[in-house]
Amino acid sequence: MSATGRYPESELSHELCSLIVDKQNEALETTGEFNVALDIADDNDLCSTLVQGLVDDPQLSSQVQWSKWKIYFVREKLVPFDSPDSHYGMFKAQILNRLIHKGGHLNLGPTVVTINESLVTAGDKEGVDTDKIVSEFQSLLPKDKFDLVVLTGTVFVDRDASDTLVVGPDNQVHLNMPVLRAAHHVCFFLLNNVEQKVLSPSGYELVETQCPDRMSFIMGDNVSLF
């Protein structure tokens, strides 16, 4: 069975980031590297939640070994990184820049793996070579399974596709269902302030039936799953 925890809003960041640190430690013991996929997006608060726990919380931040992290995004819009719609741009502004200047000096941060910005043309969908973007990004995915995938709600997946990456109708590159099913652990992080639908009932079942013992929910106490 998947583990479910409901928490007051004030405790959600600590609970999620504690789980992330635990999964980091497990991965570092076995491989010396932590491969994590994060659903950073402008329609959720995951970025600010991570700042609270992994950057601003002294207890947790002291345990984070950023230099051994490889961070991927569950979805990334096909726009330049300086676009306000770029998920990488959001992550850089809110987290990477904080790490670089933490304590008033340069710090060794994580490796962030995402799409090749040079293949994107100003967000013009017709000018984007999606096949090349997907092919190149796919070659950069972990050779082994993701140690942790953090999802925040509705994610486009093609349940019939065997590809690890797909381009959705929302002009975003998404990690697809085979990646979710194979991950060592999948965590759904759901806040109270958004009407959440986890993947879809069929999408959720596809993950749940494959890895019920490797899946957890950390959610607000007023969240309704479907």
pLDDT confidence band for 47 (50 / 70 / 90): very high
- Which domains, ranges and CATH numbers included, belong to the chain? 3-220 (3.40.50.1360)
Residue at 129: amino acid letter = D
The pLDDT assigned to 53 comes to 95
> pLDDT at position 213, please?
62
Say if residue 212's pLDDT is above 70. no
Strand, helix or coil at 189? strand
More confident residue, 104 or 34: 34
Q: Starting from the edge strand earliest in sequence, which strands make up the sheet with 165-167, in order?
A: 75-77, 172-175, 165-167
* Amino acid 202: pLDDT: 43
C-beta neighbour count of 148 within 10 angstroms = 23
One-letter identity of residue 96: L
> Using the 8-state DSSP alphabet, how is residue 55 labeled?
I
Note whether 187 and 218 are within 8 A (CB).
yes
- Confidence at residue 164, expressed as pLDDT on a 0 to 100 scale: 81
Position 145: which residue type? K
The predicted pLDDT at position 103 comes to 64
CA dist 80 and 116 (Å) reads: 9
The pLDDT, as a whole number, for residue 94 is: 93
Angle at the Cα of 28 from the Cα atoms of 22 and 29, rounded to 5 degrees:
95
pLDDT at 201: 44
Angle subtended at Cα 164 by Cα 162 and Cα 170, rounded to the nearest 5 degrees: 100
Which is more confidently placed, 68 or 160? 68
Considering only residues 112 and 9, tell me which one the structure prediction assigns the higher pLDDT. Answer: 112
Pairing relationship of beta strands 148-151 and 34-38 according to DSSP bridges: parallel
Residue with tokens 């697809």: 176
- The pLDDT tens digits for 139-187 are 999 988 899 999 886 555 565 566 788 887 678 888 888 888 888 998 8
pLDDT > 90: percent of the chain: 39
Q: Give the pLDDT score at 67.
A: 93
Alpha helices by DSSP H, the chain: 9-30, 46-50, 58-61, 87-91, 97-100, 130-138, 177-182, 201-210
Q: Does position 8 have pLDDT exceeding 70, yes or no?
A: yes
User: Is residue 76's pLDDT more than 80?
Assistant: yes
> ∠ at Cα 163 (158, 168), nearest 5°?
45
DSSP type of residue 186: E
**Tens of pLDDT along 79-123?**
999 999 999 999 999 999 888 766 665 567 899 999 999 888 655
| Tokens 């497990």 belong to residue | 26
Tokens 């409901």 locate to: 6
| Nearest partner of 216 among 225, 224, 208, judged by Cα | 208
pLDDT at 89: 94
Q: What is the predicted pLDDT for the residue at 12?
A: 86
